[in-house]
Amino acid sequence: MSAIWGVVDKNQAVLTETVERMQQSMQEFKIDRYESIIRDNIYFACGHQYITPESGTDVSPIYDEDSKIWFTADCYLYNRAELIDEILGADKLVGREILEPLGDAMLSYKAYECFGERFVEKLKGTFSIVIYREAEKDVLMYADHLARRYLAYHNDESAVCFASVYQPILALLDNNVRINREWLCTAYSDCTADTVKLPRVTIYENVFQVEPGHYVKINIATNRIENICYYNPTKKIKSLPKMSDDEYKELFIDTFSKTVESMLRSAGETGIMLSGGLDSSAVAAFAAIKLAKADKKLYSYTSVPAGDFQYENTKFFIENETDMVLEH
């Protein structure tokens, strides 16, 4: 997993000042390795974090000299084995021994080579991915199915810039950034935690986000912008076959177990945000069992009120879950 940022300038070579500003803005984060590629009017960068066994040798960004494709990715794949099988089925020239050691970014690029623009339909995980195709002169920006890996961008007459955190974009725009009052008012219009009421809009004016299950295509020659949906679960609803209660139970437990296990590829230790509720408790129970088989522990973190916290809604809310967590 990592962070990505970059610029495609529409008029001139990328300035050294632009590169320095954007990279400097990332210094506050814990980054294990910085990688970047700068050629003429394009700058792609990635700040790698070593989380999975493959992430230490992962490659991002990528520039393919033959196809003139730029690629950078911040991703954590859940379906590596399934994806490798799909790539092997589509590309007979590549072997499993080549694909299996690849990091998630490189494996995603192989999927793009095999399946083209809609390759994300083959991916399962959390990711933000940006591609620039020199021949087509278009920038492709992808968010995962639920946009858990954030991807923001700014587009004007001079350049397209992107980042999976705001800082590089704000550093580049400098004093030209203004708070989006419409977003702010809408976000505070009710008491829920939902701030995604205006599609693609963010708290900053003229800075947008890629929606969940979508990718944005911007042609830098014509400035044509397309917002393309690649994932809509409501259009692919399938009824389960009629089964017994025990069979439904077995299917649920098997699915839940595989889902939890897919998150346990850490090269180090594994932690969980644990509350007293059923959701995180169930995940913790399954994860702890899986980790124990590898002689590992699950480390939990819980947010609790400060000592001087004033309890006002105890009849309606559980404001301190400490006792419930300790019971685990």
Low-confidence spans in the chain with pLDDT less than 70: 1, 192-195, 313-314, 328
The three-state secondary structure class of 179 is strand
Q: So what's the pLDDT on residue 236?
A: 77
Predicted confidence at residue 94, as pLDDT, reads 87
The partner residues of 159 in beta bridges, in order of sequence, read: 9
The confidence score (pLDDT) of residue 56 equals 92
pLDDT at 314: 66
Q: What is the DSSP string of 238-274?
A: -PPPP--HHHHHHHHHHHHHHHHHTT---SS-EEEE-
Which amino acid does the sequence have at 180? N
Structure tokens at 57: 């040798």
Residue 214 has what pLDDT?
A: 96
**pLDDT the model gives residue 193:** 66
Residue with tokens 């019971």: 327
pLDDT of residue 306: 81
Binning the chain into helix, strand and coil, the percentages to the nearest 5 are 30, 25, 45
